Amino acid sequence: MSDPAKAWDGEQVRKWLARRFEAAKLDQAAADRRGYEAQDDYDKAAAEEWVCRCLKDADCTNDQAAFAKRLKELIGQDEYRVTGIYDDARFERHVRGQLRKLAKMTKANEGFEKTLRYQ
């Protein structure tokens, strides 16, 4: 599933998820302060926070195949329950986008070393 020269690092994945979780919370607060025109940004940040919250402490992060399987399960969900968002359809679209991004990163086993706030 990945390049044999680069081993899967579950600790690095959890660290990346935790940092993205914190960045998403900050992005939500910033979008909330900007008001009506930033509702899409708020929903996008809320989606990233939801995805990271679901995965950051999961046991499946230790194994690349198990993590990919969990991502596939989440992508296949019909709906994602959360309160405080502006548009349910937009939120679900952003959640699926975040999950697909993570699935690509997992398959290639790259990108998890980029832990800066802005990506």
Return the closest-CA partner of residue 31 out of 94, 89, 73. 94
Q: E-strand spans in 9-106?
A: none
Angle at 79 between CA 73 and CA 84, to 5 degrees: 125
Task: Read off the pTM.
Answer: 0.88
Taken as a whole, the chain contains a residue count of 119
Q: What is the pLDDT of residue 22?
A: 95
Q: What is the pLDDT of residue 65?
A: 94
Token reading at 52: 């990271």
Q: What is the pLDDT of residue 2?
A: 47
Angle at 116 between CA 23 and CA 20, to 5 degrees: 30
Q: What is the pLDDT of residue 118?
A: 65
In the chain (119 residues long), the average pLDDT of successive 10-residue segments reads 70 94 95 94 95 92 94 91 88 95 94 77
Q: What is the spatial distance between Cα 56 and Cα 5, in angstroms, rounded to a whole number?
A: 25
